[in-house]
A and B are shown apart, each in its own frame.
Chain A
Amino acid sequence: MATVVMVFLAVVVLFGLVAFHALIVRNQTRIDTLNAEIADSVRARQELQLAVAQLEAPDRISAEAIGRLGMIKPAGVTYLEPLSAEAAADVVPVSSGSDIEAGDDVTSVDNNERTSEEAPEGRG
């Protein structure tokens, strides 16, 4: 009886070792697969980083804006001066039913004073 038990235990241990080894092999395969996926992801990230940088290049954006979207360089810049507290109080809110229509200039900016024209010789 003892011999049978010993043989049985030996078989169990043997199968256990085989199963353990199979588990190790399977996990190693999994590790190899994950390492390969990491390498692929790193590569993809680098490619995307380069693609983003190329898309953000000022030269490309400028060409797209002018060539495809039909934009033009502004002749000058208009600065808007914030209203003082007193002046702001005098501004009639649009929602009050005034006669303001679309297209009306509703700012109270003194454009004569704050409008920036082109620099001398028109290079601005």
Chain B
Amino acid sequence: MAPRAAGPRPAPYDPGRRIAVMILALVIVAAALVVQMVRIQVFDRERYVAWGEEQRSRSVVLTGDRGDLVDRHGETLAVSMPNPVIWVDPRLVVDPVGQAEALAPVLGREAADIAEILDDDGLFRYLQRPSDPETARAIEALTDMPGVFVTEEPARFRPNGTLARSVLGSTDVDQIGISGIERQYDSSLAGVGGRMMSERSIDGRTIPDSERIIEPAEQGADLRLTIDRALQFQVERSLIDTVEAENAEGGMVVITEPATGEILAMASVARNADGEVVTTPDNRAVTWTYEPASVMKALTFAAVIDSGLASPTTVAAIPDTVNLYEESFTDDELFGTRSMTPTDIIVRSSNTGTVIWARELGATALDEYLRAFGLGTATGLDFPGESAGLFDQVEDWSGTSIASISLGQGISVTPLQMLAAYNTIANDGLYVAPRLVAEVSSEAGSERPQAPPARRVIDAESASAVRNMLTRVVVDGTARRALVPGYDIAAKTGTAQKPQEGGGYTDSFGAYHYVATVAGFFPSEHPQFSMIVVIDEPAPEIYASRVSAPLFGELAAWTLRHFQVSPDTDLVFDESAAGPDEAGVD
């Protein structure tokens, strides 16, 4: 047996002390946990709750798409679609110069310009807005491109290119209408964005039975226009051809349905800086004013006949010259004095005959009738930039104003104003305001925009008489080139001198410039369509009867065919009618 070592005996094992230490440690730990819990649950509760919500919550912006624009048959004219944009968070960019060099060929921009954006101090800069799907895919394919992102936002697309661009107008990059219908109906077209808040797990899945807040987006209203896409295309193409062929500066055509005032086509074209004839962004048919010249004579005689002064067959002695104060008004043909009816005067577009009857009517009555026809007042279309024309108050007329205004000079109108006046004659004397929007459709339903109520200007018999006179203008008069085989066409020509900057009608070289107009409707007995053709500064041929009337006839034939209006079987086309004008040019 081994001897036991000598020395003091070790203290006996005391488990109570160790337990006490352990308990103390546990109490301390528990106290620390309690303190921490109290701190988290009580004092910092809000912060941790917010932190948790921030981690779980995902907010998604719901876009309220801008409404579509469609034509009268529902064919798409403008539509909004998600489109990529490329943006950068400069804080995350590692190598501005190197990344810029990689981005430059994809974006088609100088690397230095891109590097400047990547090196910005801000949090957000656009690199390309709007972009396109191909570029976006190329950007996404680039490796090692920290800080550069592709996202989507709505963009406006016009699948028909520049068709009806002056009517439709445009939007800016933020989808706000800045011109045309897009601007006029921006509040209806614009959608209202919404938001969806949901709670997501770390892998992006929705946490079941969690809180979900949805603020639904409101889609913008769709607009159905009165425009007919096919007719609009034909009008633009033919107008461009005519302006090019006649060496003109520009032109406008408007085609409407007189009974409803619905505009079926409205086109404006002009030469650009390169001399190419293109459709204009500006809707000149409602924003541009000019002296209409002889097309005004139809309105003058509508007033004369409606006031009971004359009938279409009233014979009067008409001289070839009328002197009024210091001015002389003459006809192209100096015929001395001869007997003419109002129909003869309109068919031959006699200036002196018109002046004589206008003086019989008197300034006050002429002023009242022309204003009732809508001259001097905007049409009610409310198109952005629409002009009311220039029409002096009758108190401000000079001694010769009654003569010049009755001939369509000393007064300016928009092409649409003049067509609306002709529509009054087509409508048995009722003025119907033109309209471009047939229907506004939203989630709440559809509605037809209000238009000014129709008003009577002349009585139905007077309107019928003027229609017959205008039909004679096409059969026997200055608008023979507007003739459409198988149909009765009513129209009037007018060739106006164009005022020049600085006053007067001659330019710095002493040359005159002209505007050639034909306005009318068809079929003339029961008009279904009306049209005005305005050719701005044709040269060297200047007369509407030769410049504008052929286009009027071409488009009238196309319109009648497009809308399947059968030719009148009683009307046999007389080929001898294809000869030169018999009643002069105008």
Contact = CB atoms under 8 A, between A and B. Distances in A.
B472 interface: no
A24 B209 contact: yes
Given A24-B209, A124-B553, A116 B79 contact: no
Interface residues of A, number: 32
B551 interface: yes
A46 B209 CA distance: 32
B145 to A, nearest CB: 25
Nearest to B65: A46
B2 interface: no
B4 interface: no
A53 interface: yes
Interface stretch (B86-94, B265-273, B417-425, B572-580): B572-580
A110 to B, nearest CB: 10
Interface in B482-516: 483-486
Contacts of A79: 486, 567
A107 interface: no
B550 interface: yes
Given A28-B206, A57-B159, A117-B575, A50 B550 contact: no
A119 interface: yes
A58 B229 contact: yes
A59 B279 CA distance: 14
Contacts, number: 96
A124 B557 contact: yes
B75 interface: yes
A116 B551 contact: no
Interface in A61-92: 62, 77, 79, 81
B233 A25 contact: no
The prevalent SS among residues of B at the interface is mixed
A52 B551 CA distance: 32
Contacts of A25: 205, 208
Nearest to B80: A46
A43 B81 CA distance: 8
A120 B550 contact: yes
B554 interface: yes
A54 B160 CA distance: 6
Contacts of B557: 77, 119, 124
B390 interface: no
B161 interface: yes
B561 interface: yes
Contacts of A59: 160-161, 163, 233
Given A31-B206, A54-B159, A58-B163, A120 B577 contact: yes
Nearest to B234: A58
Contacts of B81: 46-47, 50
Nearest to A27: B208
A43 B82 contact: yes
Contacts of B143: none
Contact of A53 (B75, B206, B230, B481): B75
B185 interface: no
A56 B209 contact: no
A47 to B, nearest CB: 7
A119 B567 contact: no
A58 to B, nearest CB: 4
A116 B208 contact: no
Contacts of B480: 120
B364 to A, nearest CB: 41
Interface of B: 75-76, 79, 81-82, 157, 159-161, 163, 205-209, 229-230, 233-234, 237, 480-481, 483-486, 546, 550-551, 553-554, 557, 561, 567, 569, 572-573, 575, 577-579
19 contacts: A32-B205, A50-B76, A53-B159, A53-B160, A57-B160, A57-B161, A57-B163, A58-B160, A59-B161, A62-B233, A116-B485, A117-B485, A117-B575, A117-B578, A119-B485, A119-B553, A120-B578, A123-B553, A124-B485
Given A58-B233, A79-B486, 16 more contacts: A25-B208, A50-B159, A53-B75, A53-B160, A54-B159, A57-B159, A59-B161, A116-B486, A119-B481, A119-B484, A119-B554, A120-B550, A120-B577, A120-B578, A123-B551, A124-B484
